[in-house]
Amino acid sequence: MAFGRLERTATPKPMSDINMTPLIDVMLVLLVIFIITAPLMASSLRLNLPKAEGAAPNDSTAVLSVAIDPSGQLYLQDQKIAPAQLSVQAQTMAQRNPQTEVQLRADQSVPYGRVAELIGLLQKAGLSRIGFVTSGSPPPAPARP
C-alpha cells in the first residue's frame, strides 16, 4: 500500500532578481513629501514693506532682525516673540557686541507709535544701531498742477 507518490517534483528555484518596484514606490513617495514640505521650511514672514530708496545694506557681523506684522506681533529672526523676551534677547546681544545692528522690518500698515515703542525698547536694551528695511524704490510722486 502506497500512501504517497514516490516521485519527487523539483521545487522552484529561488528568485535571484531584485524586485525594484517597491523601492521605486518608496522613492517616489519621499520625493513627493520633500516637494511639498520644502516651501514650508523656507517660508518667511510676509510683510508689506514700505517702498523707499535707501542705502544698500552693509554686511555687519552681528545683525539682529526684528519685524512687526500688520497685527502688531513682534518677530525675532522670523520667530514670534513677546516684547519682554525681545528686550532680554536685545540686552544679551548688546552685552556681547555693542555694535550689533538691528534690521527693523515693519509692515507699512503698522502705526508709527508701535514702531517708536519698539525702537525705544531696543535702545533701552543698549542697541543704538537701528536700520529700517524697505523694498524697492518709492512710488512716483503725484504731479502738481
Q: What gap in Å lies between CA 43 and CA 38, rounded to an integer?
A: 9
CA distance 12 to 32: 39
Q: Kindly report, residue by residue over 37-76, the tens digit of the pLDDT.
A: 887 766 566 666 666 666 555 555 778 889 898 888 899 8
Residue scoring higher pLDDT (109 or 7): 109
Q: How is the chain split into domains, by residue range? A: 63-132
Query: What is the spatial distance between Cα 102 and Cα 52, in angstroms, rounded to a whole number?
Result: 18
Please give the pLDDT value at position 32. Answer: 94
Give pLDDT, residue 27. Answer: 95
The dotted CATH code for 63-132 is: 3.30.420.270
pLDDT tens-digit readout, 85-142: 988 988 888 898 888 888 888 888 888 888 888 989 988 988 888 888 877 665 555 5
